[in-house]
Amino acid sequence: MKFPPHLLDEIKARLPCSTVVGRYVQLKKAGREYRGLSPFQAEKTPSFYVNDQKGAWFDFSANKNGDIFKFLQEKLGISFFEAVEQLAREAGVDLPKPDQRTIADEKKVRDLHEVVELTCRFYEDELKLSGGEACRAYIKKRGFLPETVKEFRLGYAPATKTALIAHLKGKGVSVEMMIEAGVVRQDEDKPPRDYFVGRLMIPMQDRTGRVLGFSARALSADQIPKYLNTAECEIFHKGHMLYNQHRAMKHAHSSGTVVAVEGHLDVVAAWQAGFLPVVGVMGTAITERHMDMLWYMAPEPVIFLDGDKAGKLAAERLVTNALPKLRPGNSFTFAFPTSGKDADEVVQAGGREALVAEIGKGVPLVDILWRRETDAAKIDTPERRAALEKRFDDLIETIGNLAVRKAYRTAIRSRLSSLFWQASRPQGGEKRMDKPTISAALDAMESAKERLLLGLAVEYPELIDRYGDRLTNVRITKPHLDAFRNELLRLAWSDKPDLSAIGDAFAPALREVHGEEEKDEAGHVIRPRGHAVRVMLPLLRYSPSPVYGGQVFEHTLTSLEIAAAEAEIAEESSGQIDEATERRIMALIADLRERRSANDELLKSLTEDGRNLRMAIGEN
């Protein structure tokens, strides 16, 4: 039903935005606005604002905004019509009466919902009777407790083909209405029969908890398909459903995360184990509607897919479909169980802690895109490198949001630059491979960052003092480079700092990361001091300002710190995880997200500055 604009304006005029929002958010006056903590995700610093003059609210942490109607829709999970009805009653505004056709349509929808609810109760009751013994045995085998069965309203569809029809007829429901509700079917020239027969019944509920349809699990190998869903009808649309959304929503908003798994019973297992912000998709196909629903719950949902080939292919499909919809702050993280198990098997093997550990190993969408395009790529010729670059350019062009598109272009070009450079030069004196592989190039990247970091420290000694604490704590994986780092710190912090006093024992490391001056037999300089670091960062040949060198050092240092933090998360997630450890892991993940974002922005600035420098000296 449509409402005239003047009526909506009248409701908003009588109910200030701060009054409606203030029932759910503790607001404090801040100038001409009100400020409070986001009601949609956890935060410590208020980023939620209400402006009564504009009649609007703005949640900068959750990237949401709207008027009083939109607020109730988002907060309570109700429809626009329901929000208008509720606020109109509060404001004392009479709504226009719907016409007869609208009344009839709405009554039909209510009747369909009632039929489905009666059906759900029937299945719940049948599970408790003697005919449901095999289904109860299956539920017990899956490890589901009685209270879990009750909470999720699991049931049993009897093996007889007309039990539900007889039951609903006794409740005064017509066969036609049963068919329209998707719980009874009638094939051509055959009598009506129950749609679900001899199966475990899993109710599908909307975000208010109302049952819309069912997913039915086979109880024997000869039942095909394994899962049978309610047919598409007026109230049930498979592509619009997220299983368990109504339970998970408040936990997702409070924790700032939500995990989507493939199977409905995977959701039940995770919930029973104590992991509450979890939802399920019906199969591996995640639709655009699913994406919006997941982003409504959390800014970066975790897609937890089975670790088999089908799960990985599903992730790659989702990446392609998600790119056009990406926007600042909204993306996806992907987690694949290392053992190839599904979420239920992970929970059965190690409980909630094991599931949290697997989630902690998740990788961002950009990494899935990178792996998909580079894993099998050959980059041994200019043409093949150009082809890989074009594939990325074409994919990035599909991103609708300009800011995200620019960020992806910068990030991918940076990765390609490092990849092509690593693949085109020998490592550690080894003979260059005729067919460089992606994995070999990636393995060398972390070591290259360590060498670049230390080379820049020699080139700009003042950076050692400025970043002393961070340089002391950053992880250096190569023992000889770790020792060289300590020598640089010792010299920089001595009474008379002088890097020229580096001992002979560290000469090989100095040559590796920076490069000493080299002369031929006639005394001519064939390689100047610093030639090694200039190979790693060619822009140094054009004598950029020390500020630029310092920013490259900052970016490289942060990249190594991020890599170390990722390793720390993986290590902490591999053992027993208590609540304190889980909070620490989640805090680390949130901090990593912010640091990655800031480091990407710095890289974007460095790329632009480098381009300007090359243009200034006449190099294209």
Mean pLDDT over 175-200 rounds to 95
As a whole number, the mean pLDDT across the chain is 86
Task: With CA atoms as reference, report the closest residue to 82 among 251, 252, 71.
Answer: 71
Rounded to the nearest 5°, which phi and psi values hold at 594?
A: -70, -40
* Sequence-ordered strand ranges (E) for 287-346: 302-304, 333-335
In 108-125, which positions are buried (b, 16+ CB within 10 angstroms) versus exposed (e)?
eeeebbebbebbbebbbe
Residues 6+ positions from 402 with CB-CB distance below 8 Å: none
pLDDT at 615 exceeding the cut of 60: yes
Mean pLDDT over 180-209 rounds to 94
CA atoms within 13 A on the CB side of 33: 14
pLDDT tens-digit map of 539-578: 888 888 889 899 999 999 998 998 888 777 767 665 556 6
Lowest-confidence segment of 330-339, 450-459, 498-507, 595-604 by average pLDDT: 498-507
pLDDT at 101 exceeding the cut of 70: no
Q: Which two tokens stand for residue 349?
A: 């093997």
pLDDT tens-digit map of 222-259: 999 999 999 889 899 888 889 999 999 888 877 889 99
pLDDT at 617 exceeding the cut of 90: no
**pLDDT band for position 431 (50/70/90)?**
very low
pLDDT tens-digit map of 60-79: 888 889 999 999 998 888 88
pLDDT at 531 exceeding the cut of 70: yes
Q: Which two tokens stand for residue 513?
A: 């990361």
pLDDT the model gives residue 440: 44
Taking a C-beta distance cutoff of 8 angstroms, is the pair 545, 322 a contact? no
503: left (phi over 0), alpha (psi -120 to 50) or beta: beta
User: Distance (Å, rounded) from C-alpha 541 to C-alpha 525?
Assistant: 16
Q: Which two tokens stand for residue 253?
A: 């908003």
Amino acid at 242: L
Mean pLDDT over 421-447 rounds to 49
Rounded to the nearest 5°, which phi and psi values hold at 118?
A: -60, -40
Contacts 24+ apart (CB under 8 A), 9-12: 10/91, 10/93, 11/68, 11/84, 11/87, 11/88, 11/91, 11/93, 12/55, 12/67, 12/68
